[in-house]
Amino acid sequence: MQAAVVPEPGADFEVVERDVPEPDAGEVRISVDACGICHSDVYAKEGTNPVVSYPRIPGHEVAGHVDAVGDAVDTWDVGDRVGVGWHGGHCSTCDQCRQGNFLQCENGEITGLSYDGGYAEYMTAPSEALAKIPESLDAAAAAPLLCAGVTTFNALRNSDANVGDLVAVQGVGGLGHLGIQYAHAAGFETAAISRTPEKESLAKELGADHFINAADVDAGQRLQELGGADVVLATAPSSDAISSIVSGIGVDGSVVVVGVPGEPVEVSAQQLVQSRGAVEGWASGHARDSQDTLEFSSLRDIAPEIETYPIEDVNEAYGRMIDNEARFRAVLEL
Q: What's the pLDDT at 208?
A: 98
| Strand bridging mode 122-126 / 210-213 | unpaired
pLDDT band of residue 138 (cuts 50, 70, 90) is very high
Band of pLDDT at residue 283, cut at 50, 70 and 90: very high
The string of pLDDT tens digits covering residues 7-60 is: 999 999 999 999 999 999 999 999 999 999 999 999 999 999 999 999 999 999
Task: Answer for the pair 43, 56: CB distance below 8 angstroms, yes or no.
Answer: no
Q: What is the pLDDT of residue 237?
A: 94
Give the three-state DSSP class for 257: strand
| Reported pTM | 0.97
C-alpha 14/C-alpha 314 separation (Å) is: 9
Tell me the average pLDDT across 171-176. 98
The domain limits of the chain are 2-147+285-333, 150-281
CA distance 242 to 139: 33
pLDDT average, residue stretch 297-316: 98
190 - beta bridge partners? 167
Q: How far is Cα 156 from Cα 231, in angstroms, rounded to an integer? A: 8
Structure confidence by residue, pLDDT tens digits, 240-282: 999 999 999 999 999 999 999 999 999 999 999 999 999 999 9
Within the chain, how many helices (H) and strands (E) appear? 11, 15
CATH hierarchy code of domain 150-281: 3.40.50.720
Q: DSSP assignment, residue 313?
A: G
How far is CA 329 from each of CA 113, 173, 320, rounded to the nearest angstrom? 20, 9, 9
Q: What does the pLDDT read at residue 23? A: 98
Residue 125 and residue 290: Cα distance in Å, rounded?
15
Mean pLDDT across 155-174 = 98
CATH number of 2-147+285-333: 3.90.180.10
Collapsing DSSP to helix, strand or coil, 92 comes out as coil
